[in-house]
A and B are shown apart, each in its own frame.
Chain A
Amino acid sequence: MKKNIVAMIMLLIIGLGLMSVVGEMPTFGERRFFSEEEMYDRYLQQGPEETGSINIVSAIITDYRAFDTLGETTVLFATVAAIYGTLLAAINKDGDD
């Protein structure tokens, strides 16, 4: 019972913190910083010309921010390499015994 009350209070504090962050978030279409404004306009107005891609989302993730996507791909590769290596090691051990 005591534990539950402590947990409830902790949850309330964490929830209040999160809600205050949500309240600070910009609403849809609102622009706050000058640099952001410049960037959005650049993407929307010159994106199709500069990348040849009508789909602006894929233009951003694989052209303007292709290096970021390369990191994402590396994460996928590392995941598979780790799981594959662990499982292969376990199976090889079973085979030896």
Chain B
Amino acid sequence: MKFEDDIVNTVTRIILPFITLFGLYLIIHVHLSPGGGFSGGTVVGAGFVLFSLSFGISIQEKKLSHRTSALLESYGGLWYVLLGFVALFYGYNFLTNDPVFGLGQSGSLFSSGLVILVNIGLGVKVASTIITLFDSLGGEEL
């Protein structure tokens, strides 16, 4: 599945870093501005989909192999569950935020403990979900 088109290829080459950067910004600034793991991960995944549409899935496979994205997809969910279990060792409920993870200065980038950690895992998971779905439905050999 590939467009043999110079315009699409050139525009993709220019715009792809900005799409990925914007997706990462949405994931990292989850506690400061609108966005989050789901929307940011979708943007990053859409960037990869655009890349494989314009250059072919086999080229995208070299950047992020199918096995890696499937593994990331699984470990994103495991990371969420592990973060939940951390609170159990301190004697709190599953997925407790406040006393277990330090909240930090409200409004700074490195704050809000569980929220940002969980959203990084969610972003990785959603992005690799979209990439895995697109690659496996793309019709090429896995």
Interface of A toward B, CB cutoff 8 Å: 48-55, 57-59, 61-63, 66-67, 69-70, 73-74, 76-77, 79-80, 83-84, 87-88, 91
Main secondary structure of the interface of A (DSSP, over half): helix
Interface of B toward A, CB cutoff 8 Å: 30-37, 70, 73-74, 76-77, 80-81, 84, 94-95, 97-98, 103-104, 106-107, 111-115, 118-119, 122, 125-126, 129, 132-133, 136-137, 141-142
B112 contact from A51, A61, A88, Cβ within 8 A: A51
20 contacts between A and B (CB under 8 A): A50-B97, A52-B104, A52-B106, A52-B113, A53-B30, A54-B32, A55-B31, A55-B34, A57-B34, A63-B115, A67-B95, A69-B118, A73-B77, A74-B77, A77-B73, A77-B125, A80-B70, A83-B136, A83-B137, A84-B132
Q: Which residues of B contact A70 (CB under 8 A)?
A: 80-81, 84, 95
